[in-house]
């Protein structure tokens, strides 16, 4: 056990998540998935491991969990494929790695980590990123692994109406992410997503873009976002929060509030984010109905939550 502040927060997407449309069984499944991922990351921090390891381990668990829109549970694009995006960033030296539009990779966050550590680049796309992943010995899966009847039906529904939708038809962003502070004072962030159901033309959202959907800087905070990617890119959400702390001296709470509840809302940017600052303060704000989220620190905070409005 360390006496330094350690903290982790994770999300499984924000959106229209209502108690009335959830069964107790399904809720228990979601909560179990979040708890597993939280524990996988926290134990690393508790044993003195790095925030980078912790966010990767948490996101791998979320990618392997069918109900979230990342890895195994990634949504179908217009061509009936799964094109995934992911990013990881380390706040100690601002190194980052990301991939977009990749198919077949079991854990896109691992590929993002490889890009960060071994490619000499920050962002690789499509086939090139996949080739690099194979070269690095990452695990690949065939289409069956990524198939689920529920996701297939969502795609069919979206195709029939010729619309591009957020994860589920009832507006849920199932993207996953994690942020952490380790006992050495290093912050890290990671995000992974299948993007939007029925997306076309190689569309890429905010998740793999450092500064938009994912950002970590030891001087300020670590952030992972979920929501309508286009609006999060235009608002450069994650970096904006970091800048408000760095240049305006704002608290994490005030910076998150300004960006999520005001700047984003003003342009119709629905969604939320998880954030941890260098002191270990945790924020999990969202302007949608709910957000799958969880956090834990060594000061007694330990939460798994889904809905908004303090109705937990």
Count residues binding ligand ASP (CB under 6 A): 16
Report 54-113 residues binding ligand ASP (CB under 6 A): 69
In the stretch 244-263, what mask flags binding to ligand ASP with x, by CB under 6 A?
A: --------------------
Cα–Cα dist 285/253, whole Å: 9
Through-space distance between the first and last CA atoms of the chain, rounded to whole angstroms = 30
Compute the least distance from the CB of residue 6 to ligand ASP, in Å.
26
Candidates 28-36, 47-55, 146-154, 188-196: pick the segment binding ligand ASP (CB under 6 A): 188-196
Q: To 10 degrees, the CA torsion angle through 140, 144, 146, 147?
A: 170
Cα–Cα dist 306/294, whole Å: 9
List the one residue out of 239, 227, 226 whose CA is nearest residue 96: 239
Candidates 31-39, 116-124, 137-145, 189-197: pick the segment binding ligand ASP (CB under 6 A): 189-197
Query: Interface with ligand ASP includes 174 (CB under 6 A)?
Result: yes
Quick one: 188 or 204, whose CB is closer to ligand ASP?
204
Contact 308, 35 (CB under 8 A): no
Which tokens is 276 given? 């941890």
> Do you know the residue count of the chain?
312
Q: What pairs with residue 296 in β-bridges?
A: 8, 302
253 given a catalytic annotation: no
Helix axes 51-64, 24-46, angle to 10 degrees: 160
List the one residue out of 277, 278, 274, 310 whose CA is nearest residue 295: 274
Catalytic one among 175, 191, 197, 214?
175
* Cβ within 8 Å of residue 23, ≥6 positions away: none
Quick one: 154 or 193, whose CB is closer to ligand ASP?
193
Quick one: 73 or 104, whose CB is closer to ligand ASP?
73
Contact 294, 35 (CB under 8 A): yes
Element (H, E) at 296: strand 290-297
Binding residue for ligand ASP, selected from 193, 197, 214, 288, defined by CB under 6 A: 193
Binding residue for ligand ASP, selected from 114, 167, 240, 270, defined by CB under 6 A: 167
Candidates 132-140, 170-178, 238-246, 304-312: pick the segment binding ligand ASP (CB under 6 A): 170-178
Q: What pairs with residue 305 in β-bridges?
A: 293
Binding residue for ligand ASP, selected from 51, 119, 207, 287, defined by CB under 6 A: 207
Query: Interface with ligand ASP includes 205 (CB under 6 A)?
Result: yes
Candidates 89-97, 131-139, 172-180, 302-310: pick the segment binding ligand ASP (CB under 6 A): 172-180
Compute the least distance from the CB of residue 56 to ligand ASP, in Å.
19
Report 211-240 residues binding ligand ASP (CB under 6 A): 213, 226-227, 229
Q: Which residues bind ligand ASP (CB under 6 A)?
A: 13, 69, 167, 173-175, 193, 195-196, 205-207, 213, 226-227, 229
Q: Residues with catalytic annotation?
A: 175
């Amino acid at each position: 056990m360390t006496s330094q502040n350690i903290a982790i927060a994770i999300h499984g997407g924000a959106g229209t998540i209502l108690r009335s449309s959830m069964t107790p069984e399904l809720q228990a499944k979601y909560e179990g998935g979040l708890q597993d991922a939280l524990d996988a990351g926290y134990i690393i921090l508790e044993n003195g491991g790095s925030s980078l390891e912790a966010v990767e381990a948490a996101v791998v668990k979320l990618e392997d969990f069918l109900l979230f829109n990342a890895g195994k549970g990634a949504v179908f694009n217009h061509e009936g494929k799964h094109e995934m995006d992911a990013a990881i960033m380390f706040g100690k030296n601002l190194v980052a790695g990301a991939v977009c539009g990749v198919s077949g990779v079991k854990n896109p966050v691992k590929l993002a980590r490889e890009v960060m550590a071994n490619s000499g680049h920050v962002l690789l796309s499509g086939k090139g990123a996949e080739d690099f992943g194979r070269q690095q010995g990452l695990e690949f899966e065939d289409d069956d692994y990524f198939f689920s009847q529920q996701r297939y039906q969502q795609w069919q529904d979206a195709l029939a109406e010729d619309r591009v939708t957020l994860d589920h038809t009832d507006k849920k962003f199932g993207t996953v992410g994690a942020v952490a502070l380790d006992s050495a004072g290093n912050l890290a962030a990671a995000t992974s997503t299948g993007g939007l159901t029925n997306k076309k033309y190689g569309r890429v959202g905010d998740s793999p873009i450092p500064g938009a959907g994912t950002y970590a800087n030891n001087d300020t905070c670590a952030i992972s976002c979920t929501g309508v990617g286009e609006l999060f890119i235009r608002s450069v959400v994650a970096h904006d929060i970091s800048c408000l702390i760095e240049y305006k001296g704002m608290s994490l709470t005030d910076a998150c509030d300004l960006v999520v509840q005001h700047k984003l809302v003003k342009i119709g940017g629905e969604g939320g984010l998880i954030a941890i600052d260098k002191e270990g303060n945790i924020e999990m704000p969202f302007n949608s109905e709910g957000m799958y989220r969880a956090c834990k620190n060594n000061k007694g905070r330990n939460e798994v939550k889904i809905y908004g409005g303090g109705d937990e």
